[in-house]
Chains A and B, each alone.
Chain A
Amino acid sequence: MDVILNLLIYTFTTGSIYCIIALGFSLVFGVAEILNLMHGVYYMISGYFVYTYYIAFNNMAIAVALAILSTTVFGALSYVVVHPVLESPFKTLLSTFAVGGAVSEILFLVYGVTTYGLPNLLPGGFMILNTPVIKQAILAAGVALFIFVCFTVFLSRSDTGRAMRAVAQNEEIAKLSGIDINTVKFTTIMIAAFLSSVAGTLYLPLQSLNPGVWMKITVLSFVIVVLGGMGSLGGLLMSSYIIAFTEYATTLSFAEGSYIKTGVYLLIMVVILMFRPQGLFGKYLGPLEVQV
């Protein structure tokens, strides 16, 4: 019973965080058609920003706010690297991978391999039926879900949101309607960095922070996006919970669980791509090109 409750709580908190990370990835993939291999870097670097600002100002709230701001600016800057190679998919893959590797290497040189623990914004915890719950985790999940809902409204109601959906559907016609494609793509990457930084600043205090985190997060977000299917926000939420559940269940049931969890969900992704290329919840094929 305890194990099941524990599993459910973990699935809820971690799944919600994964959801907003993958949301950014899915947006960049759908709107700008970039498979952004440096996506995990936004998440990781926000943790390092928090660490640095916390040491400088000794106040967690200020550190978090500044870290989110800095990461968003970093996201905007990262557009410089993808812009010249936008038309070639594998060049964007290579350039984003190189930037990700370079950034993680710089962080490694500056901060070392030491795993850092960040202080919690809301320290302490409480008990539900003999199962401990950390307040920070609930805060992170709550903020993540709130932002997810806000973003859904933003995407369907605001002009920028409409422009983004238009570019995702048909770039040529969006251009003909007077939408500046470059600005839209630029905004999308900035939003993705913002979403990841919110996830990173709130959730990284519960996790360990080291320069190798980025690749795991990148792999995780594309698995979630493929599983959920393009263009379906509800599907994204569901698949985040599925992945979080799989991850924790694997860790609990095998001795080497924490080593093989990535392999388990990647295997799930490959099987799903074989039989349902549009994802579990995707309705249309979208940018997915599957040849008959």
Chain B
Amino acid sequence: MNIGGRRLHVSLLTKNKRWVLILGGLACVPLIIDNPYYLKTFTIFFVYSIFAMSWDLIGGYLGIVSFGHALFFGVAAYTTAILNVKLNWPPLLGFPFSIACSVLISLVVARPTIRLKGHYLALVTFAFPIITTNILYAFPNFFGADLGIPGLSPLSSSRTRDFYIVYSFVWVIFFLLRRMIHSDTGLILRAIQSNEVAAMNCGIDTASIKLKMFVLSGMLAGAAGFLYAHVIKIASPANLELHMSVEALVMCIIGGAGTLSGAILGAVVVTIVNELLRVIEQYRVLGYYVLVLIIVLFSPKGLTWYVDSAFTLLGKGKRRRSAVIRGEER
């Protein structure tokens, strides 16, 4: 397992056992739960995982802290909504177009953004969704202003099938990204994050790698947006809002930035918290902000670190325990 760029000495068997357990467990969910509401919640959690992983790819691995990732998400959602509702295209036909649109938009955003750093980068990525939202509001007849475009058709004929479609999306994306991160490309990404000038001097074309990763990340966020629009059956300006972009950051920080499994773990936490906060409906938004604040102020490491330490403790017995706690095992 990978933690913050360093390898833990966990045996191959334990590692695979864990993934088999998680994958199999989640696949059984529709067999156990028939409540359509919970099934939808699970589906939304999968969509959030894709969104969080797409942010993690550039935010966690490359250090490009995007504050407007919801842009790609929202653009894909609107594209598929227009094709589906206004032109009556089936979702499957709309998919390549919404992906193409988010790739196009991410190329447009990447042009002025990639060269910038730190605050300025956050600022420019922050600006693009607001500009796009303004464009949406400027043509209320076409984009529906506040209401958005409702009435999208579902992905397939049943909720269970929807669940499995989104499920397979998540794990295909997860294992492909994981493969990439563990290959030489992953090494290059870490090199760029820790010292860009040094990476450049090693003969790495940092600008092109950054551009490629940015576009890939935009594409994945677009896939998430496409799925989300068809799961909740509406594309609205809320998809583009700062709140949505912050959601991606929060998920990655909770789980631990720079770990793909952390993104998924963060999505679990955010989904559960969103559902729990429904109990105090009136104070839901307030509760959410307070929680974000607490997490940002008091969590130096992501959850993945704690989970992995726990697994190591269970697997390796007492002798290793002290070593893990002292931090030598990392």
Contact = CB atoms under 8 A, between A and B. Distances in A.
Interface of A: 29, 33, 35, 81, 84-85, 89-91, 93-95, 97-99, 101-102, 105-106, 109, 215, 219, 222, 226, 254, 256, 259-260, 262-264, 266-267, 269-270, 273-274, 277, 287-291
Contacts of A259: 134, 137-138
A102 B253 CA distance: 19
Given A84-B297, A85-B296, A98-B289, A260 B65 contact: no
Nearest to A275: B112
A290 B124 CA distance: 13
27 contacts: A35-B122, A35-B123, A89-B65, A90-B59, A90-B122, A91-B296, A93-B119, A94-B249, A94-B253, A94-B292, A95-B293, A95-B296, A95-B297, A97-B292, A98-B296, A102-B289, A105-B285, A109-B283, A259-B137, A260-B134, A263-B131, A264-B134, A269-B127, A270-B127, A270-B128, A270-B131, A290-B116
Contacts of B120: 226, 273, 277, 288-290
B124 A270 contact: yes
Interface residues of B, number: 40
A90 B249 contact: yes
B1 interface: no
Contact of A98 (B111, B131, B140, B293): B293
Contacts of A270: 112, 124, 127-128, 131
B67 interface: yes
A263 B136 CA distance: 10
Interface in B115-173: 115-120, 122-124, 127-128, 130-131, 133-135, 137-138, 140
B246 A94 contact: yes
Contacts, number: 116
Contact of A99 (B128, B250, B293): B293
A98 B124 CA distance: 20
A75 to B, nearest CB: 17
B322 to A, nearest CB: 29
Contacts of B253: 91, 94
A289 B127 CA distance: 18
A266 B282 CA distance: 33
Nearest to B123: A222
B308 interface: no
A219 B130 contact: yes
B297 A263 contact: no
Interface in B183-205: 196
8 interchain residue pairs of minimum CB distance: A263-B134, A102-B289, A98-B293, A98-B292, A289-B117, A101-B289, A259-B137, A105-B286
A266 B116 contact: no
Given A101-B285, A226-B120, 15 more contacts: A85-B297, A90-B122, A98-B292, A99-B293, A262-B130, A263-B131, A263-B135, A266-B131, A267-B131, A270-B124, A277-B120, A289-B120, A290-B115, A290-B120, A291-B117
A273 B124 contact: yes
A81 B295 CA distance: 12
A274 B120 CA distance: 11
Nearest to A80: B297
B310 interface: no
B290 interface: yes
Nearest to A289: B117
B112 A274 contact: yes
Contacts of A254: 138
A29 B119 contact: yes
Nearest to A261: B134
Contacts of A91: 253, 296
B246 A97 contact: yes
Nearest to B67: A93
B296 A105 contact: no
Interface in B90-114: 111-112
Contacts of B249: 90, 94
Contacts of B293: 81, 95, 98-99, 102
A94 B117 CA distance: 17
A273 B116 contact: yes
Contacts of B128: 270
A33 B119 CA distance: 9
Interface in B216-252: 242, 246, 249-250
A61 B12 CA distance: 73
B296 to A, nearest CB: 5
A290 B253 CA distance: 26
Contact of B133 (A95, A222, A263): A263
Contacts of B290: 98, 102
A273 B250 CA distance: 27
A230 to B, nearest CB: 10
Contacts of B123: 35, 222, 226, 273
Nearest to B59: A90
Contacts of A105: 285-286, 289
A99 B297 CA distance: 12
Contacts of B112: 270, 273-274
Nearest to B66: A90
A256 B138 contact: yes
